[in-house]
Amino acid sequence: MILHADYSAMADASVIEARLMIASMLGPNASVPAGSDDHDDRRIWKALALLSEAQAICESLNAEQRHAEAGWKWLCLATKLKAVMDVVNQVREESPAFRERVYRKWVRLCEARPDPVVYWHFIDVERDRCATLDRSPLRWVAKRRRRIWVVDGGMFEGYATDDLSAKAIKWLAQYVADLHAQ
């Protein structure tokens, strides 16, 4: 099975989607493709596998009918999204060039604060907000003849969970892709 992709075209959005599909096809226990000893490659692969898992949680959350279960899934989703940045930013064995790219990208992100809002006010804080609540961070609302989960509290009060998580996953996928494309 040939899964070791050429990452030189990572800036193309369709490639990002294809990589996410590959990671999702491998399932939640995805590992680095056999034969890959490139630490940069491993870091990107792990981040994309986490994004794939986050996407799967998001899809199962939308089908969840029980309030308590939905709250736990939302916490899991927020944890996976935050873990992507943790995986990318914890560079140890990577090449000096990759470490420098990660550092420069992180500095630019910090300098742009509070933008992008989806990172600083959702990905960066939602896991901790959910973990400290004594109630579910979500609530049901009727929208377009169906019931959906929306965020209950925080900066994104009333946002549909599927819309918000899709924005976060898209932003993170682009962040990871930009690191590798440089």
Residue that is written with structure tokens 């003849």 in the block: 145
pLDDT at 24: 52
The answer to whether the pTM exceeds 0.85 is: no
Residue 71 included in any domain: yes
| Containing structural domain, residue 42 | 12-181
Residue 48 included in any domain: yes
Residue 130 included in any domain: yes
Residue 7 included in any domain: no
pLDDT in tens, 95-132: 788 888 889 999 999 999 999 999 999 999 988 888 88
pLDDT at 122: 92
Element containing residue 32 per DSSP (H, E): none
pLDDT at 84: 92
pLDDT at 127: 86
pLDDT at 13 over 50: no
Residue 5 included in any domain: no
Query: How many domains, in total, are found in the chain?
Result: 1
pLDDT in tens, 78-100: 999 999 998 888 876 667 888 88
Residue 155 included in any domain: yes
Residue 6 included in any domain: no
Residue 1 included in any domain: no
Please give the full DSSP string across 110-154, using - where no structure is assigned: HHTTT-SHHIIIIITTHHHHHHH-SS-SEEEEEETTEEEEEE-SS
Give the residues across from 151 on adjacent strands.
Answer: 138
- Return d(Cα 119, Cα 125) in angstroms, integer: 8
